[in-house]
Amino acid sequence: MALCRRCNAEIVWVRTPKGKMMCMDKQYFPYRANLKGADMLVDNFGRTIRCDLYPENVVPEGEIPTGMARKPHWATCPYAEEFRKARKEAAD
């Protein structure tokens, strides 16, 4: 387990299908697959999943979730914008 350099959250690194490394939050979320869903998660193979999340991560009794996946850390890190600015400045 690694830690985010800014917020110290536990993160996991996953390789995407294009070979790049993506940092993910440690926590898994149960989801329902929905191509028009409002949420986006990433599986352990770095593939994005459009889905609907269960409110407060509670699956209703008798319902089976499509799967479990993680959120990209850049979507939850309070300092994500600083990383984006640093990358943009380095590219200029």
For residue range 51-81, list pLDDT tens digits in order.
Answer: 999 999 999 999 999 999 999 999 999 998 8
Helices vs strands, H then E, count in the chain: 1, 6
Nearest to 63 by CA among 40, 33, 27, 42: 33
Q: From CA 77, how far away is CA 71, in angstroms rounded?
A: 10
Number of domains in the chain: 1
Domain range for residue 86? 2-91
| Cβ-based neighbour number of residue 71 at 10 Å | 18
Q: From CA 92, how far away is CA 85, in angstroms rounded?
A: 11
The pLDDT tens digits for 21-36 are 999 999 999 999 999 9
Are 22 and 46 in contact by the 8 Å Cβ rule? The answer is yes
